[in-house]
């Protein structure tokens, strides 16, 4: 039987889970927002990683078919997205119940009835909307969290009502979301996947004919794969049925696991399965880029500059102390201040023509400075350019404290997804430590801590570290 | 965390507690008994001069750290800040000023007497100068004697520097002390005290050396700060101090012979996993929690620089009964904080090698310039020279607002795990070689 290893990185903002096989290859990833109840966050991330792992095993098993027939690939990616919706559906229903319950607890008489009417309208609207986005707009691939998706939809609906409803409906939301989010729902993969397949069947049966659709849509929007699949749907789904059932019934054996990250001490793991995230991030980054000697990790509230040796083991590290300005939460706060989403920050900053100087010592002050600069007529893009540069300036000082940058340099953590941060990092690293420094950034950068954890779990942590002989031969 | 009252104490600690209790009682009765009181600082202190003239010493930084341990410093610091002291001022100073503003109640609950003399023999810390300027304002008209201690800029103590200091002692410091005490310095008594000091210093060095043994029977930092107490403060030069160190040496030698690990507030450590050298003062407001993080992980501090602020006896210095003023001058100039950075790095390297340490850790203190300046540089240099993992954490002396338990624990856990990994790799490499 195949053996799998789990790493969970409970960060201040997001909780990540990674499952690896015996070759240290990532086969499952799960991510969710960290919440007050750490154990729920860890469970959700873990469940997601296990589902994701089943899908990757399925894709590996079907590698040949996928390669030769694009409709197989399309079917599987659609299925994964719809599968996510099936889980969401249960939570949306749970949230609906919670909203009504809160309404009963906080309001009575006429007011209560009025609120219930409004809540019913919201419920009726948001569920089909989300369903539509999952089935037709590929929401599943965007990696968004339940809380973010439903709150966006809820807000949209609330804003349609009379302004007097805003306050009470938001109060109801605030008091309901946590309960809905924190309930652990046990799903059965096999039945969930059957439901997902049925929903997919419904989608493809109801798809308008190619000719009809092409007249409406422009040529560039035309989804060739989708129509290829439509034409072949019955055949594809029937031939995949057995292979899917096989993976759904697969006995998934997690041999060992490691917990890391800020909340690690509170994870329901035995003491020997808890590791420092500094070691895990370094180990993960080194596994992906084996020549790594310096790692910079920018997460939600920590910036870590880590030096590693040829084995991927930490030789020294520095972390921000006393203040988390310049980390992921700093960007989140700035995004809120500008009323834009976190994902829009980087692209907007990339449009900067110059970088306005902004202080990065305090998040709250930076917010005030941003308003001031906007009033003085500075362009948003230029201010954001300055803010992103400020983050890297701060990180550079931490890197200097840890001993500097040694080739190769690997950048990890959630903030490594931000293109503007990457731009300034490359500029400053090369300017300070030489143009020949190789900078590594992986698409899985946010999962490096969990990956390192899973790798420690596979090595059973202490007993079987990578042997000096093996690592020496690699180096 | 267990209740501090439950702390397990060695016999020597009980003796020291009694010594301190008697001192504070004596201090609280000083005015009634007509005893003169001298406020002075620990590094480069001239305790034998004070005691030889029958005066009583008070050490404001010791009071501050005691206030920190008794959880009083937070309030005292806030009171000093209300008076206008900035957030960035040394927290020992603010804690001390705050304590005075609140009736000058010492660690035993007894009131401390006002000073008759402020004796400033500062070594390496310019804040001391400002501290006493402030005390002068709190006690208008108090007599002040200042001994300027030259910094070891070139890493050596020259004859000129010694002459310069002896001259200050003869022409300014001692005459002022005589004026306050109302009597002449008794040089025979001084010599006798310096002889006692040297005896205690010999014993203290032997205590420190036991940490070379594996496992170390002592923690040279967390327990070291208690052990160094009598020698660094009001008891150096007394018979009592000699007896204390005799008892302490007996205790730790017994522990060493039985291969026992250090005694912690929660009992004896079971296993020595890591041997560390630590630079920088400890945090006092969360001292027990801070220590616990170390002993829970099996980390023992085998040598520390902080326990050398009161003198580098382990490097050979002794007070000399035959050259009293010259040896006091050498003593002042030889304290750890009066060394230049290359000397400090050399000393740390020496400790790491002599005590076979697995790691080197710095606790950087937000409000202490004399310690914190240059620490990162020192860390890099030590890392290069010794090739051992280095760690860096930040806290403060007595301002509880700057001790972040979660952050410090997080960093220390990572550091210990890092040391653990290194050990495994080193063993594997050794096995291959």
d(CA A426, CA B101): 54
Looking at the structure, do residues A240 and A295 belong to the same domain, yes or no? no
Here the ipTM equals 0.76
CB of A304 within 8 Å of any CB in chain B? Answer: no
Q: Are A394 and A358 in contact (CB under 8 A)?
A: no
Selection from A77, A3, A6, A104 nearest residue A46 by Cα: A6
CB of B31 within 8 Å of any CB in chain A? Answer: no
**Residue A307 structural domain:** 288-448
CB of A315 within 8 Å of any CB in chain B? Answer: yes
- Out of A275, A315, A321, name the one closest to residue B417 (CB): A275
Q: What's the token pair of residue A16?
A: 């990540």
d(CA B291, CA B279): 15
Longest dimension (CA), chain A: 77
Looking at the structure, do residues A227 and A370 belong to the same domain, yes or no? no
Give residues 162 to 181 of B whose Cβ lies within 8 Å of A: none
CATH number of B191-432: 3.40.50.11900
Residue A322 C-alpha, separation from nearest chain B C-alpha, in angstroms: 8
pLDDT of A465: 35
Given a cut of 60, whether residue A216 has pLDDT beyond it is no
Selection from B181, B110, B94 nearest residue B145 by Cα: B181
Indicate the average pLDDT of chain B.
93
CB of B411 within 8 Å of any CB in chain A? Answer: yes
Q: Are B300 and B208 in contact (CB under 8 A)?
A: no
Q: Is residue A265 part of a domain?
A: no
Looking at the structure, do residues A320 and A246 belong to the same domain, yes or no? no
pLDDT of B121: 86
Residue A407 C-alpha, separation from nearest chain B C-alpha, in angstroms: 18
Among A121-135, A268-282, A389-403, B38-52, name the one with the lowest average pLDDT: A268-282
Given a cut of 60, whether residue B416 has pLDDT beyond it is yes
- Domains in chain A, number: 2
Residue pLDDT, tens place only, B321-342: 999 999 999 999 999 999 999 9
Question: Where does the pLDDT of residue A464 fall: very low under 50, low under 70, confident under 90, or very high at 90 and above?
Answer: very low
d(CA A309, CA A295): 11
CB of A276 within 8 Å of any CB in chain B? Answer: yes
Which of A253, A279, A311 corresponds to the end of one domain?
A: A253
Longest dimension (CA), chain B: 74
Contact A316 B383 (CB under 8 A): yes
CB of B410 within 8 Å of any CB in chain A? Answer: yes
Contact A468 B432 (CB under 8 A): yes
Looking at the structure, do residues A292 and A146 belong to the same domain, yes or no? no
Contact B425 A468 (CB under 8 A): yes
Residue pLDDT, tens place only, A420-443: 999 999 999 999 999 999 999 999
Contact A468 B428 (CB under 8 A): yes
Chain A nearest-CA residue for B380: A403
List A319's β-bridge partners, or say none.
A304
Q: Is residue A48 part of a domain?
A: yes
The 8-class DSSP code of residue B169 comes to I
Helix axes B239-257, B187-209, angle to 10 degrees: 10
- For the entire predicted model, the pTM comes to 0.84
Looking at the structure, do residues A298 and A419 belong to the same domain, yes or no? yes
CATH number of B4-183: 3.40.50.11890
- Out of B389, B390, B424, name the one closest to residue A465 (CB): B424
Residue pLDDT, tens place only, A356-407: 988 767 888 888 888 899 999 999 999 999 999 999 998 999 999 888 999 9
d(CA A139, CA A152): 13
Indicate the average pLDDT of chain A.
87
Q: Are A398 and A305 in contact (CB under 8 A)?
A: yes
Looking at the structure, do residues A236 and A329 belong to the same domain, yes or no? no
Contact B418 A314 (CB under 8 A): yes
Q: What's the token pair of residue A286?
A: 């080194």
Q: Are B414 and A276 in contact (CB under 8 A)?
A: yes
pLDDT of A341: 84
The stretches of A338-418 forming alpha helices (DSSP H) are 342-350, 363-375, 380-402
Given a cut of 70, whether residue B129 has pLDDT beyond it is yes
Burial of A367: CB neighbours in 10 Å, binned 0-12, 13-18, 19+: middle
Looking at the structure, do residues A244 and A297 belong to the same domain, yes or no? no
Contact A278 B391 (CB under 8 A): no
Which of A253, A272, A304 corresponds to the end of one domain?
A: A253
- Out of B393, B404, B414, name the one closest to residue A276 (CB): B414
d(CA B59, CA B27): 12
**CA-CA distances (angstroms) from residue B316 to A98, B201, B202, B334?**
75, 10, 9, 10
pLDDT of B4: 47
Residue B98 C-alpha, separation from nearest chain A C-alpha, in angstroms: 25
Please list every residue in chain B whose beta carbon sits closer than 8 Å to the beta carbon of residue A315.
Answer: 383, 389, 418, 422
Contact B414 A322 (CB under 8 A): no
For residue A372, give the 3-state DSSP assignment: helix
Q: Is residue A358 part of a domain?
A: yes
Q: What's the token pair of residue B96?
A: 């001390």
Selection from B65, B61, B77, B70 nearest residue B401 by Cα: B77
pLDDT of B13: 86
Q: What is the DSSP string of A97-111?
A: HHHHHHHHHH--HHH
d(CA B399, CA B93): 11
Looking at the structure, do residues A98 and A170 belong to the same domain, yes or no? yes
Given a cut of 90, whether residue A182 has pLDDT beyond it is no
pLDDT of B88: 87
Q: What are phi and psi of A451, to 5 degrees?
A: -65, -50
Q: Is residue A463 part of a domain?
A: no
Chain A nearest-CA residue for B414: A276
Looking at the structure, do residues A224 and A366 belong to the same domain, yes or no? no
Please list every residue in chain B whose beta carbon sits closer than 8 Å to the beta carbon of residue A472.
Answer: 432
Q: What's the token pair of residue A279?
A: 């070691």
Q: What is the DSSP string of B168-222?
A: HIIIIIHHHHHHHHTS---HHHHHHHHHHHHHHHHHHHHHHHGGGSSS-SS-TTT
Q: Is residue A204 part of a domain?
A: yes
**CATH number for the domain that contains residue A383:** 3.30.420.40
How many A×B Cβ pairs under 8 Å? 64
Q: Looking up tokens 């070691």, which residue turns up?
A: A279
CB of A278 within 8 Å of any CB in chain B? Answer: yes
Q: What is the DSSP string of A440-455?
A: EE-TTGGGHHHHHHHH
Dihedral sign of CA atoms B169, B172, B175, B181 in order = negative
Q: Are B125 and B43 in contact (CB under 8 A)?
A: yes
Q: Are B43 and B122 in contact (CB under 8 A)?
A: yes
- Out of B404, B425, B432, name the one closest to residue A313 (CB): B425
The number of angstroms, rounded, from the C-alpha of A331 to the middle of its chain's C-alpha atoms is 16
Same fold, B4-183 and B191-432: yes
Q: Is residue A469 part of a domain?
A: no
Q: Is residue A33 part of a domain?
A: no
Q: Where are the domains of chain B?
A: 4-183, 191-432
Looking at the structure, do residues A293 and A338 belong to the same domain, yes or no? yes
d(CA B237, CA A290): 60
CA dihedral B133, B135, B136, B138 (to 10 degrees): 130
d(CA B158, CA B174): 22
Q: Is residue A272 part of a domain?
A: no
């Amino acid at each position: 039987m195949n053996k799998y290893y789990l790493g969970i990185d409970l960060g201040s903002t997001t909780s990540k889970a990674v499952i690896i096989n015996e070759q240290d290859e990532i086969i499952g990833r799960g991510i969710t927002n960290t919440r007050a109840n750490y154990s729920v966050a860890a469970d959700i991330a873990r469940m997601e990683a296990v589902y994701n792992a089943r899908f990757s095993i399925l894709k590996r098993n079907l590698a040949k078919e996928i390669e030769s027939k694009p409709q197989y690939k399309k079917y599987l990616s659609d299925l994964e997205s719809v599968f996510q919706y099936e889980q969401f559906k249960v939570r949306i229903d749970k949230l609906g119940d919670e909203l009504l319950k809160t309404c009963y607890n906080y309001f009575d008489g006429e007011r209560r009835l009025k609120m219930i009417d409004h809540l019913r309208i919201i419920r009726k609207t948001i569920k089909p909307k989300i369903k539509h986005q999952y089935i037709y707009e590929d929401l599943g691939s965007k990696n968004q969290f339940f809380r973010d998706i439903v709150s966006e939809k809820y807000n949209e609906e609330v804003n349609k009502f009379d302004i007097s409803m805003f306050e009470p409906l938001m109060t109801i939301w605030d008091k309901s979301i946590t309960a809905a989010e924190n309930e652990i729902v046990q799903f059965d993969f096999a039945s969930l996947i059957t439901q997902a397949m049925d929903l997919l069947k419904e989608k493809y049966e109801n798809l308008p004919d190619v000719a009809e659709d092409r007249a409406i849509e422009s040529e560039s929007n035309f989804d060739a794969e989708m129509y290829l699949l439509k034409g072949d749907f019955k055949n594809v789904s029937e031939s995949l049925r057995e292979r899917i059932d096989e993976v759904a019934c697969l006995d998934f054996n997690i041999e060992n696991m490691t917990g890391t990250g800020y909340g690690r001490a509170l994870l329901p793991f035995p003491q020997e399965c808890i590791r420092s995230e500094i070691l895990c991030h370094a180990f993960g980054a080194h596994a992906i880029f084996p020549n790594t000697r310096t790692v910079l990790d920018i997460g939600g509230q920590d910036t870590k500059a880590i030096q590693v040796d040829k084995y991927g083991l930490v030789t020294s590290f520095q972390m921000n102390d006393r203040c988390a300005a310049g980390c992921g939460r700093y960007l989140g706060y700035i995004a809120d201040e500008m009323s834009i989403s976190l994902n829009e920050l980087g692209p907007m900053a990339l449009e900067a023509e110059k970088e306005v100087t902004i202080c990065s010592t305090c998040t709250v002050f930076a917010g005030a400075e941003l308003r001031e600069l906007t009033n003085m007529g500075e362009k948003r893009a230029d201010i954001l350019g300055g803010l992103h540069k400020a983050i890297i300036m701060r990180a550079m000082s931490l890197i200097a404290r840890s001993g500097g940058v040694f080739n190769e340099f690997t950048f990890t953590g959630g903030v490594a997804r931000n293109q503007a941060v990457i731009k300034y990092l490359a500029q400053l690293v090369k300017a300070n430590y030489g143009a020949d420094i190789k900078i590594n950034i992986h698409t899985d950068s946010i999962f490096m801590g969990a990956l390192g954890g899973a790798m420690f779990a596979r090595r059973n942590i202490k007993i079987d570290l990578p042997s000096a002989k093996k690592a020496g031969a690699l180096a | 965390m267990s209740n501090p009252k439950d702390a397990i104490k060695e016999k020597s600690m009980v003796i020291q507690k009694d010594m301190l209790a008697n001192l504070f009682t004596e201090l609280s009765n000083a005015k009634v008994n007509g005893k003169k009181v001298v406020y002075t600082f620990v590094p480069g202190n001239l305790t034998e001069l004070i005691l030889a003239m029958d005066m009583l010493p008070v050490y404001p930084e010791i009071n501050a750290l005691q206030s920190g341990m008794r959880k009083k410093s937070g309030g005292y610091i806030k009171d000093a800040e209300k008076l206008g002291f900035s957030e960035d001022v040394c927290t020992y100073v603010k804690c001390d000023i705050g304590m005075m503003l609140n009736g000058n109640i010492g660690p035993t609950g007894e009131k401390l007497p006002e000073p008759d003399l402020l004796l400033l023999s500062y070594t390496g810390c310019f804040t001391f100068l400002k501290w006493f300027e402030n005390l002068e304002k709190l006690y208008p008209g108090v007599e002040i004697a200042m001994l300027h201690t030259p910094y070891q800029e070139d890493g050596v103590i020259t004859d000129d520097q010694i002459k310069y200091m002896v001259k200050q002692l003869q022409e300014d410091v001692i005459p002022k002390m005589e004026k306050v005490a109302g009597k002449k310095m008794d040089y025979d008594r001084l010599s006798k005290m310096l002889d006692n000091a040297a005896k205690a210093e010999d014993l203290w060095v032997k205590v420190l050396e036991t940490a070379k043994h594996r496992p170390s029977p002592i923690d040279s930092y967390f327990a070291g700060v208690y052990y160094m107490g009598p020698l660094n403060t009001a008891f150096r030069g007394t018979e009592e101090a000699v007896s204390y160190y005799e008892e302490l040496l007996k205790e730790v030698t017994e522990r060493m012979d039985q291969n026992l690990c250090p005694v912690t507030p929660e009992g004896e450590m079971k296993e020595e996993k890591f041997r560390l050298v630590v630079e920088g003062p400890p945090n006092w407001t969360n001292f027990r929690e801070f220590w616990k993080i170390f002993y829970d992980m099996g980390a023992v501090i085998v040598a520390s620089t902080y326990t050398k602020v009161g003198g580098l006896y382990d490097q050979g210095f002794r007070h000399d009964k035959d050259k009293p003023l010259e040896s006091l001058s050498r003593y002042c100039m030889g304290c750890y904080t009066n060394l230049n950075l290359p000397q400090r790095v050399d000393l740390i390297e020496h400790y790491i090698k002599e005590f076979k340490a697995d790691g080197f850790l710095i606790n950087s203190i937000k409000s202490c310039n004399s310690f914190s300046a240059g620490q990162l540089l020192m860390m890099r240099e030590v890392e290069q020279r010794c090739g051992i993992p280095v760690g860096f954490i930040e806290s403060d002396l007595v301002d509880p607002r700057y001790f972040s338990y979660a952050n410090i624990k997080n960093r220390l856990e990572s550091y210990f795990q890092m040391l653990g990994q290194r050990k495994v790799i080193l063993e594997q490499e050794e096995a291959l070689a």
